[in-house]
Structures are given as structure tokens and as C-alpha cells.
Structure 1
Amino acid sequence: MKPIALAASWLLALSSGSALASTPSEKVVCTDQPRSQWMSEQQARILFQASRYMLVKFKVSKGRCHEFYAVEHDGTVVEAYLHPVTGKTMRITRVPLQPGAVKP
């Protein structure tokens, strides 16, 4: 599998709820504040430093957080939750490249 395709498949697997992503018992809840008070996706991407990653997927989580899935240049997969009002990192998880996997 080509490196970029491998990284893309990891992002897809993470965002679809695979074992590497958060389980429902680990749900991160950020805020009850209305979306009119939230920072924009662009502002959240800047705080997350999205430009330093090879691939980045953004979504709003069920816990009302800015949620990012990203792949670093060494193949490490990152899942991060940012508070949509304060920008504070609520949780970040890194999953290193699996042994024997092709580096992106």
C-alpha cells in the first residue's frame, strides 16, 4: 500500500470508530455553550497546529468538542479534543506507527 494511502486509511479507521479511537466510556465532554460562542474551525486548526501534520480530519464530537484526527510525518496517528470556546486541549492520544508498517 502506498504511504499516503496507508495514512489515509488510518484516518478513516480512526474517524469511523475503530479500536484506536475513543470508546464511548471515554467520551470527552467539552461544553454546553451555544455554537455562536465557539471559535471557528480555522481558529481551532491554528491552535491544533494542523499545518505540521501530513493529514488532518476535523469534526465536532458528540461531546461538543473540536475533534482532530491527524497523521504525523513519521506515521504516528493523533486524536485530539479541543475545547471549542477556550481552545484548551482536553485530551490528546498518540498511536505510534505499527512495527513493519510502511512509513508515510
Structure 2
Amino acid sequence: MTFRKTLVLALALSAAAAAQAGPSCTEEPTSKWLTAEQMSEKFRAQGYVDDVRKLHVSKGKCWEIYGHDKAGKAVEVYFHPITGAIVQENRKD
């Protein structure tokens, strides 16, 4: 394989990996974070359906919640663990 093809392949793979990675939220200690229950309440209060499928801390130290929006579309939402603000939302079709 030529150098150029190797470089193009490496760039494509790193772009794909970056697209899969979630956001980075904080380095603050978890003692300052909203609780899982508080995050579930915020999720519902922001208009998402009351069906939190999975709630966990992402690699980027965000609250990551899977559920559905008002239209019934599956969503993956990253919240800042201290403010509860949406950092990123991914809708699944």
C-alpha cells in the first residue's frame, strides 16, 4: 500500500472513531454532580418521553441517557452532569 493510501485510510478511521465518541463534559468531582434521579427528572421535564432506557456516565464524564422524544424517535442525549444542560443529542431513525 502506498503512503498516500495509508494516510487516507488512517484519516478515515480516526474520523469514524471521532464520530462515535461522545462529548467531554467535566473533570469536577461527582460530589458536585446531579444525581441519576435528578437527571431522569430533567430528561422528562425537557419533553422526552418517560421511558429512560439507560442512564449512565459516558467516557467524557457526561450523563448519557437513552429514551424517546415526543414523536417516538429513539434518542441518545448527553447532559452536563452539574448544570443538566444538553451537551449533545443524537436521534435514531
State the TM-score, normalized to the length of structure 2.
Answer: 0.67
1:44–1:55 Cα change, 3 Å: closer
Equivalent in the alignment of 1:27:
22
Structure 2 residue runs without a partner (length 5+): 1-15
| 8 Å CA contact 1:55, 1:70 repeated in 2 | yes
Equivalent in the alignment of 1:5:
none
Equivalent in the alignment of 1:16:
none
- Corresponding pairs, count: 74
Relative to its length, the structure with more helix (as a share) is 2
Of the two structures, which has the highest relative contact order with CA contacts closer than 8 Å and spacing of 6 or more?
1
State the TM-score, normalized to the length of structure 1.
Answer: 0.61
Structure 1 residue runs without a partner (length 5+): 1-22, 97-104
What's the CA shift string for 1:50-99, capped at 9, x where partnerless?
A: 87244521010000000011145765210000000010100111112xxx
Q: Over the residues paired in the alignment, what is the CA RMSD in angstroms? A: 2.2
The alignment-based identity, stated in percent, is 34
